[in-house]
Amino acid sequence: MDFELSEDQCAFRDTAREFAQREFAPHAARWDAEGIFPLEALHHAGELGFCGLYALEAHGGLGLPRLDASIVFEELAAACPSTTAYLTIHNMATWMVTRFARPEVAAEWGPRLASGELLASYCLTEPGAGSDAASLATRARREGEHYVLDGAKAFISGAGATDVLVVMARTGEAGPKGISAFLVAADSPGIEYGKKEHKMGWNSQPTRSITFDCVRVPAAQLLGEEGEGFAIAMKGLDGGRINIATCSVGAAQGALNAALAYVHERHQFGRPLADFQALQFKLADMATELVAARQMVRLAASRLDAGAADATLYCAMAKRLATDLGFSICNEALQIHGGYGYIREYPLERYLRDARVHQILEGTNEIMRVIIARRMLAEHTMETPR
């Protein structure tokens, strides 16, 4: 395995790093404090292709491998994990539209999503269906050339401020085989948005509930075929888990960078903090864990790009490891800053708050352990994944 980045990957990394330092870093604290959804910055990201990194080229995307996309997301998240996390959700929705919509629908909506002209939300979670996504209750019934949606979604990122909703709804029997996926215009009659949730972190993106009351959706905007929605959702979640894991790696890198700068600047007992072995050991552990998390994420992304049979297993492993280690690294970086880490003048408390939810969404880390254990136990004679 070649661990070195290619020339193209280095170019994407450098472009993303420069963009993040120019467009995200100077404003991230204000976006967080004031709850601003940075539409202008997101549109600028679209101009560089960051709104359609792995969307199909035929419909305006860059068509990059998930590995390359993870390199871009990591650099962006080092400046603002919250805004980057929304950008990853938009990328997932855009990929679903360009990959599964009918050709004429993908041609109409795909380029506008991939360019950032339109922004998307992904609607899977419901008030009564979180980890058990297959039990969702939102229904879509066919009436002539339309489907009619009724139900509710919860914790939807970007809701109320985006243009497109990718909605999972039940068209058939109970369980995963009865779920279908739809592209829905966000301003369709019958859609209502709940209050903006007050959250611990991720404050640069609004989170709201959505209710659907007799919302008419053109039948042509079905993604894939009836009954394929859950499979589409699961394919999206494999990449989504890599994306969120990458956001944790980026947040951890940003926190570690801040800690390294701080120990050189701060003096105690007549010496810089960098001279104290206890802190040197802490920094060494943080750096080691960060590299381990990054390589696990990139391995999982490579497995997904290769279409490997065990890609879902590796995506779950990467999500579990990177989000747990990422939060821990942010916490240690805050500890190194002492009291200064706890105030908003420094970015540590923001990194910590933004990284915490990564252990919950795209499948909680407890669910990741279930996925990993079931795979191993179902094939107990197989070698340990390596």
The string of DSSP codes covering 230-258 is: HHHHHHHHHHHHHHHHHHHHHHHHHHHHH
Residues 306, 257, single domain; the answer is yes
Last residue of a domain, which of 89, 114, 139? 114
- Reported as a single tens digit per residue, the pLDDT across 321-346 is 999 999 999 999 999 999 999 999 99
Closest CA to 372 of 384, 356, 355: 384
Query: 3-state DSSP: the chain helix, strand, coil percent, rounded to 5?
Result: 55, 15, 30
Q: What pLDDT, on the 0 to 100 scale, is given for residue 186?
A: 98
Residues 130, 80, single domain; the answer is no
The domain in which residue 128 lies consists of 120-226
Residues 208, 339, single domain; the answer is no
Last residue of a domain, which of 196, 226, 256? 226
In a domain, 168, yes or no: yes
Number of domains in the chain: 3
CATH number for the domain that contains residue 317 = 1.20.140.10
What is the H or E stretch that residue 32 is in?
helix 28-34
In a domain, 161, yes or no: yes
Choice among 18, 23, 362, 379 that is catalytic: 362
Residue 237 CB contacts under 8 Å (≥ 6 apart), including other chains: 315, 362, 363
Q: What pLDDT, on the 0 to 100 scale, is given for residue 371?
A: 94
Residues 178, 71, single domain; the answer is no
CATH number for the domain that contains residue 74 = 1.10.540.10
Q: What pLDDT, on the 0 to 100 scale, is given for residue 197?
A: 97
Q: What pLDDT, on the 0 to 100 scale, is given for residue 386?
A: 61
**Contact call for residues 354 and 347 (beta carbons, < 8 A):** no
Residues 142, 278, single domain; the answer is no
Residues 235, 358, single domain; the answer is yes
Query: Around Cβ 145, how many Cβ atoms within 10 Å?
Result: 9
Ranges of residues in the chain whose predicted pLDDT is under 50: none
Residues 174, 254, single domain; the answer is no
Residues 280, 360, single domain; the answer is yes
In a domain, 138, yes or no: yes
Residues 360, 254, single domain; the answer is yes
Token pair of 330, please? 């942010």
362 assigned to active site: yes
Tell me how far apart the alpha carbons of residues 111 and 121 are, in angstroms, rounded to a whole number.
16
Residue 161 CB contacts under 8 Å (≥ 6 apart), including other chains: 37, 39, 119, 206
Q: Is 284 helix (H, G, I), strand (E, B) or coil?
A: helix
Q: What pLDDT, on the 0 to 100 scale, is given for residue 132?
A: 79
Residues 192, 287, single domain; the answer is no
CATH number for the domain that contains residue 158 = 2.40.110.10
Q: What sign has the CA pseudo-torsion 124, 129, 135, 140?
A: negative
Residue 343 burial (10 A CB sphere; 0-12, 13-18, 19+): exposed
Q: What pLDDT, on the 0 to 100 scale, is given for residue 384?
A: 58
Query: Around Cβ 160, how many Cβ atoms within 10 Å?
Result: 19
Q: Is 188 helix (H, G, I), strand (E, B) or coil?
A: coil
- Pairing, β 139-143 against β 267-268: unpaired
Tell me how far apart the alpha carbons of residues 97 and 120 are, in angstroms, rounded to a whole number.
10
In a domain, 359, yes or no: yes
Last residue of a domain, which of 114, 147, 181? 114
In a domain, 130, yes or no: yes
In a domain, 384, yes or no: no
Q: What pTM was computed for the model?
A: 0.94
- Pairing, β 179-185 against β 120-123: unpaired
Residues 78, 105, single domain; the answer is yes
Residues 338, 213, single domain; the answer is no
- Reported as a single tens digit per residue, the pLDDT across 172-190 is 988 889 999 999 999 999 9
In a domain, 198, yes or no: yes
In a domain, 247, yes or no: yes
Q: What pLDDT, on the 0 to 100 scale, is given for residue 1?
A: 61
Tell me how far apart the alpha carbons of residues 192 and 210 are, in angstroms, rounded to a whole number.
6
- List the beta bridge partners of residue 120: 164
